[in-house]
Structure 1
Amino acid sequence: MLIRIDQASKATLATQIADQIRAGISNGSVKIGDRLPPARDLALALDVNMHTVLRAFSRLRDEGLVEMRQGRGAWIRREASSVTPHLAALAQQLMTESRRLGLTRSDVIQLLERI
C-alpha cells in the first residue's frame, strides 16, 4: 500500500492517510484481513508524527473499517467490504437526484471537485 502526503493540501495529514486507506479498501488494493503497517513504521516512512498515523487509524476504526489491538497492530475488518456497495448506493442517489434537478454528469463532477 502506497500512501503519499501532500503538504500543500488543505486536508490534515491524518485525514490524507485515512482517505488513502479508505480509497484502497474501495478500489480493492487493500483487502479484507490485510494488516496495516505499524504506526511507528508508517510515520517514519511518511515523515510524520506517530500520533498522526494513530489518529488516522482511529478514525478508520470508528468508521468500522479497521480493527486495532494494542501490541497486535491494525488490520482491515471483514465489515469493510460493505463500504463499496454503500458508496455505490449513495452515488446512485446523487445521480438520480441530480438528473431530477436537470444537472449533467459533468455538473455533478464539478460540484464534487469544489467540495
Structure 2
Amino acid sequence: MNPGTIAAIAYGILAIIGGIMGYSQAQSKVSLISGSISGLLLILGGVMLLQGQEWGLILATVVTAVLVIVFAIRLAKTRKFMPAGLMTLLGLITLAVMSQQLVALV
C-alpha cells in the first residue's frame, strides 16, 4: 500500500467523521451529507488505487482539491482554525502526498 492510498483513505475517514461531528454539534445536515459523500468518494478512490485502478488517484485528488478550496474559503470567512483550518491543512498535506504518486503516473 503506497502513501497516496493511505492519504486518500485517511482523509476520507476524517471527512466522514467531520460531517458527523458537524451534524451532532450544530445539527447541520449539509455537513453530514457533504462529509459523507466526499469521504466515501475519497475512500472509493483509495480502494480503486489498491486494486490498481489509476483513475482512483485522479478521483481522490480532485475531491481533495475541491475540499481544500471549500475549507480555505470557510477559513477566510470564519477565521476559526477548527474545523476549516485543520481540514485545509490536512487536505494540503494529502494533496502533496498524492501529487508525488500522480507525477509518477505521468
Greater per-residue helix proportion: 2
Structure with bigger RCO (C-alpha 8 Å, 6+ apart): 2
When the two structures are superposed, what TM-score results if normalisation uses the length of structure 1? 0.29
Larger radius of gyration: 1
Greater per-residue strand proportion: 1
